Amino acid sequence: MNVAPNTLRKLSELQEAGLVPDNQREALERVAAQYAVAITPAMVGLIDPADPSGPIARQFVPNGAELHVQPAETADPIGDDAHSPIRGIVHRYPDRVLLKLTHLCAVYCRFCFRREMIGPGEMPLTPGELDAALSYIAGHPEIWEVVLTGGDPLVLSPRRLRAVVSRLALIDHVKIIRVHTRVPVADPARITPALVRGLKARGKATYVVLHVNHARELTAAAREACALIIDAGIPMLSQSVLLTGVNDDPQTLGALMRALVECRIKPYYLHHGDLAPGTSHLRTTIERGQELMRALRGRVSGLCQPTYVLDIPGGHGKSPIGPNYLTADADGRNRIEDYNGATHRYPPTR
Ligand code: SF4
């Protein structure tokens, strides 16, 4: 992995950059000993040291609150392990698998749902394990889609990515290759024509899903990186995590979704924060998430509407969590709510 030069990884470096105060050093050392830290220059450039609780700092700068683990929080909040037949594969839904190529990321998000499984301290997938993972996919004809994830697969070299994608291309029943990444915003210089070529395979459709949580992350360089991907014929979708103090107000969330659509990226998922250890200070309530989704509906274009989802702990998969606009009145007749909150009767349908 070629990391962005000058990525901040040590607390001393964060301190030198003015991102952590002296008086929190001891608590933050304990946080950093437990969970990986990396902030790329692209993200450091978006942090105002005078505003340590700003939306970019909150996502990447370690916080003493991470030491407080709630009873409901677990090391594997979305239940990857329960569906991992072999190392590197998560087979939760019948027609698709996750292929976790690397445990490394360009940046480490403080709310990461896989925070106990990623970072430089974790064992990489060996060549033998990768062979076994690809054999597993080849041996399961029901697998239509392979999601390359990690960590962040786009921290791998174009050569390694091309090698994996070429091997997937040999598996007839795999039709879709989906790449989950934060790199186009976190380290846009990594998105080169060679890397983009490496993601494409004849006869397969590649999709790139960008993890982005605030419009500010879509810098000019990030937008160019995304355009390089899209202009190569690879559609892009987005996934965002609803985070307290980052995007939990209608204006910020609406601005993010609009900025994505302007970049030709279709908002796909808005994730409710997972029950990852030490992340409660960044999680909202579900009711707040539903209020925000109501605020988006009708006020920004339909193109800008993500689906608000929750990963059910224990590995039971994602479910949309509303809000629900259709209810029944006392007589069992349909009532439908419009975007202003007024309700209207709707006749029975058949
Ligand atoms: S980029 Fe994804 S996998 Fe990596 S730390 Fe952030 S949320 Fe976790």
pLDDT tens-digit series, residues 52-92: 889 999 999 999 999 999 999 999 999 999 999 999 999 99
Atom of ligand 1 nearest to the CA of 150: 3
- Judge whether 100 counts as a catalytic residue: no
Instruction: Considering the candidates 109, 226, 263, 304, report the single residue annotated as catalytic.
Output: 109
- Judge whether 175 counts as a catalytic residue: no
* 74 SS3 class: coil
How does DSSP classify residue 11? H
Instruction: Considering the candidates 58, 100, 110, 114, report the single residue annotated as catalytic.
Output: 114
The predicted pLDDT at position 3 comes to: 61
Partners of 145 in the β-ladder: 96, 176
For ligand 1, whether the C-beta of 282 sits within 6 Å is: no
Q: Which amino acid is at 127?
A: P
Q: How confident is the model at residue 51 (pLDDT cuts 50, 70, 90)?
A: confident
Which residue has the least CA distance to atom 3 on ligand 1? Answer: 151
Q: How confident is the model at residue 332 (pLDDT cuts 50, 70, 90)?
A: confident
| Strand 307-311, strand 318-320: pairing | antiparallel
How does DSSP classify residue 54? S
Ordered strands of the 236-241 beta sheet? 89-93, 96-100, 145-149, 176-181, 205-211, 236-241, 265-271, 307-311, 318-320
Q: Say how far apart CA 39 and CA 106 lie, in whole Å.
A: 8
The predicted pLDDT at position 21 comes to: 85
Q: Say how far apart CA 211 and CA 164 lie, in whole Å.
A: 22
Q: Say how far apart CA 277 and CA 270 lie, in whole Å.
A: 20
CA of 153 to the centre of ligand 1 (A): 11
For ligand 1, whether the C-beta of 274 sits within 6 Å is: no
- Judge whether 80 counts as a catalytic residue: no
Residue written as token pair 């609009």: 258
CA nearest to 277, candidates 109, 60, 105, 68:
68
2 compared with 79, residue with greater pLDDT:
79
CA of 155 to the centre of ligand 1 (A): 12
Residue written as token pair 């892009």: 236
Residues in the chain: 350
Backbone conformation region of residue 23, classed left if phi is above 0, alpha if psi is from -120 to 50, else beta: alpha
- Judge whether 109 counts as a catalytic residue: yes
CA of 180 to the centre of ligand 1 (A): 10
Which residue has the least CA distance to atom 6 on ligand 1? Answer: 109
The predicted pLDDT at position 2 comes to: 56
- Judge whether 231 counts as a catalytic residue: no
Q: What is the pLDDT of residues 137-152, one digit of tens each?
A: 999 999 999 999 989 9
Please tell me the pTM assigned to this model: 0.96
